[in-house]
Structure 1
Amino acid sequence: MLSMEDNIFVIILTGEFIIGMLGNVYIGLVNWIDWIKKKKISSVDYILTSLAISRICLLCILILNGIIIVCYPDFHENDKLQAVINIFWTLTNYLSTWFATCLNVFYLLKIANFSHPLFLWLKRRIDRVIHWVLLGCLAISSLISLILATAPNYDFEFQKIINHKRNCTEMSHVSKSQYFSLLTLFNLLAIVPCAVSLISFFFLIVSLRRHIKQMKVSVTGCGDPSTEAHVGAMKTMTSFLFLLFVYYGASLLATFHYLMKESKLAVMLGEIIAILYPSGHSLILIIRNNKLRQASIRVLRFGRTVCMM
């Protein structure tokens, strides 16, 4: 029998999952249909489709973990099951983060204006190498997951020791450093794509300032496509970075839940906050992308017409 807290958790998590799945499936479906019609796909659509697929998988892992926590707590304490979930979470999580980072770098190369030879070289070749870049992200994510699969689950061992301790005095004699797991280290490695996105954001700001000086208009000026493109890309990057930092904070909260008094509540809170990232950012991408936004308007109009019939 589920408690009130468990029911609230399941309702919120299910709602976030449905919204996230609808958004990511919509992105993939629109780009796939456009690909079939035109017999080709643009680089940005290719990145968005790859990102949507990775987030669909990530959402499935998050909802599965949430259901196990509430409905099958005994299974959640199984070290083998936890290891499998951690491996697939690491794979989908890194894929999602790296693909989103590729999208930010793509925006930078396509929108920013710099005369540096390296920047111009990357700008000319990004469309031709984007497939290899995404395959490289897949290879890196798979390698990290493979390393995690062969490593012992020290976090689980430490959790079992804590569960057998009776009081805080006994807890003080437990060394936490020896149980520092590779999963925690891999969480910290996410700093790399975060740093790349931050650098891209910084260069976009520099490019926008230079453009404004050249055009001799204010930031709020209208009728300048380049300025609007800069500002739009910066808004998308800002939302991504904010949601990503919140997501990793929630993930660390869920990872180290056994160090807290209300461990189950900490896990549930971490899961609810974490799932906002793959769901919320995908909705923002739909709003910021002109093709996806126009397609959503047509779908809403069609749905309204059907309801009125």
Structure 2
Amino acid sequence: MSPLWWIWSAFFLLECVVAIYLNSYIVFFNGRSLTEGGKRNPVSLIQIVMGINKLTMRCIWIVNDVAFWLPDIFESSPYNAVAFLIAFNMYFNYWLMAWLCIYYSIFITNFSHPMFLWIKRILLAFLNQVLFLTLVGSLAIALLVYMWRDTVFSLRYNSMNGTTTEDVSIAYFYKIGAIILGSFLPFTGIAFSLVVSLSSLLKHVNNISQTGFDVQVHVTLIKSIAMLLILSVSYFPIYIINLTAAFKLKDPLQYIIWLMIVLSPTMETMIIIQASPKMRKNFPGWFCARGAGGS
């Protein structure tokens, strides 16, 4: 085995342990604070679903990492199920991040626009239904990706017999549909929400700083939003490249793409913990307690 294999495996194992621990913390912490003051906390619910999805994603990536180094498995038909689940987890996570950013944007800002008020009512009254539809929609997007890749494979396999314009159009439809629904729409929601939140917070901090109030909490939140925005902007082309590029087995570029795909959800988790004063405050104690076998 090449040195690159050992480096990748060691890094992936370390990142896997960190990701599982951080997302377990997100799930357990928000599970205890799901209801505050007798009312359901929408942020906790979204973050719990995100944490469970990322834990599932990490387990599937372990299977994918093993299969990647076993060509007979990697190129076999059963591996399609692993590829399908990876695509589903990726798109589901991206849409969940979009809903979280939209939620923060609506409740951080004080806009009275009818569209903002309507979305606010929907998120408060039908959040469970929204999350369920997001899950179903992510499955549909993953199916589009699978159908596109299957169609492209069929076109290449039958290229000697010629391909019809209809076959190419169907493949193009699947590809564009997956890009718009799985990447462009959630990215637009994330970017717009974060920009609106960032501008609102900057204006608010500028106003209250002149009165002498402590703005450290707001500054921390601004930094977290800025990091999420940078991460989302960087991750958007990765989604597109991963969907559209045709990699050869053990292609170095594929290592880079997968590295970004693996790292980004964990970085999102770190930013979410950093942005929450309660989670940030309790994290060291939770770490020590768990490490010592505490509850």
TM range (shorter): 0.7 to 0.9
Cα distance change on mapping 1:235 and 1:156 into 2, 3 Å? farther
Q: Does 1:197 align with 2:190?
A: yes
What are the within-5 Å matches in structure 2 for residues 139-158 of structure 1? 139-148=136-145, 153-157=150-154
TM-score by length of 2: 0.79
From 216, 225, 246, give the equivalent of 1:237: 225
Amino acid at match of 1:138: L
* Cα deviation, residue 191, structure 1: 1.0
From 263, 272, 276, give the equivalent of 1:276: 263
* Cα deviation, residue 48, structure 1: 0.6
Contact 1:287 1:293 in 2 (8 A): yes
TM-score by length of 1: 0.76
What are the within-5 Å matches in structure 2 for residues 108-147 of structure 1? 108-123=105-120, 126-147=123-144
* Cα deviation, residue 69, structure 1: 1.0
* Cα deviation, residue 157, structure 1: 4.9
Amino acid at match of 2:174: L
From 246, 255, 266, give the equivalent of 2:253: 266
In structure 2, distance between residues paired with 1:144 and 1:303: 38
Contact 1:247 1:273 in 2 (8 A): yes
After superposition, the CA RMSD in angstroms is 3.6
Could you give the per-residue CA deviations for residues 120-143 of structure 1, whole angstroms, max 9, x where no partner exists?
454456422322222221232122
Aligned length: 285
Contact 1:51 1:96 in 2 (8 A): yes
Sequence identity (%): 21
Q: Does 1:217 align with 2:204?
A: no
Higher RCO (C-alpha 8 Å, min separation 6): 1
In structure 1, distance between residues paired with 2:202 and 2:38: 38
Where do 5+ consecutive residues of structure 1 fail to align?
Answer: 163-175
In structure 2, distance between residues paired with 1:152 and 1:209: 44
In structure 2, distance between residues paired with 1:255 and 1:147: 11
From 192, 196, 207, give the equivalent of 2:200: 207
In structure 1, distance between residues paired with 2:36 and 2:112: 37
Cα distance change on mapping 1:155 and 1:264 into 2, 3 Å? farther
In structure 1, distance between residues paired with 2:10 and 2:83: 24
Where do 5+ consecutive residues of structure 2 fail to align?
Answer: 160-167
Contact 2:224 2:272 in 1 (8 A): yes
